[in-house]
Amino acid sequence: MLGEHKLYEVRASAILTGSYVAGTVISNTELRNQLIVYVDFTKGSLTSLEVKIEFSADGTDYYQETALSVSGGTSTDSILEHTITATGKYRIAIPIKDASIKISVKGTGTITNSLVAVRASIGTV
């Protein structure tokens, strides 16, 4: 099991919309501990691409990825969205221990000539 991984086609290359659109949910991931998200983005006239990653222990209730910041002894959690502002191929690595994962994308600005494809690899390290 160590070192094994499986690649998923989450979203085939398609034009973005101004609202989040979820790709194929990745299920039965609880025996793995690493998620790699591959984003292939063509900006076109967009301002940015937003990527939202959510996790579920039961496949029903999803919890959005969070980011932590510490200032003056206070720890603050915030909902995380990955913002991408240039055409390119991006890799996002996240440790996991969840049953299901949902990856959603949306565009901001004018959608003309914009495309995004999303793949994900689930594995054990």
Ranges of each domain in the chain:
5-123
Interval 27-64: pLDDT, tens? 999 889 999 999 999 999 999 999 999 999 999 999 99
Look up residue 37 and give its two tokens. 């998200």
Measured CA to CA, the distance from residue 35 to residue 50 in angstroms comes to 18
Q: Which residue has better confidence, 5 or 107? A: 107
Asked if the model's pLDDT at residue 112 lies above 90, the reply is no
Give all strands (DSSP E) within 1-125, no chain letters: 5-14, 21-22, 26-27, 34-42, 46-56, 63-64, 66-71, 74-79, 82-84, 88-95, 100-109, 115-123
Answer yes or no: CATH 3.10.20.740 is held by domain 5-123: no
Work out the average pLDDT over 11-37. 95
Confidence of residue 1 (pLDDT cuts 50, 70, 90): low
Q: From the CB of residue 61, how many other CB atoms can be counted at a distance below 10 Å?
A: 10
Total number of residues shown for the chain: 125
